[in-house]
Amino acid sequence: MAYSKCASCNSTSFESSIETPKNSRYKLQFIKCASCGAVVGVMDYYNIGALVQKLAKKMGFDI
């Protein structure tokens, strides 16, 4: 299996940080290279999968 690596510095270590981009009203979760800080991905602040699972359980679905 190939390892994920930073396209800028070749590091294989990543971290996430919650940030609100300029002119945005919403927090986003950035996945960044732990060495140089290059952003490699952006996700919603909330974990949508966990929220959907929580809602489904409240609605009586057995998931």
Q: Classify residue 3 by its DSSP letter.
A: P
Which lies closer to Zn ion via its Cβ, residue 9 or residue 56? 9
DSSP conformational letter for 54:
H
Q: Are 44 and 28 in contact (CB under 8 A)?
A: yes
**Is 7 or 63 the residue whose CB approaches Zn ion more closely?**
7
- The contact set with Zn ion (CB under 5 A) reads 6, 8-9, 11, 33, 35-36, 38
Closest contact distance (angstroms) between CB of 53 and Zn ion is 33
**Closest distance of CB 31 from Zn ion, Å:** 12
Q: Which candidate, 8, 5, 1, 4, places its Cα nearest to that of 37?
A: 8
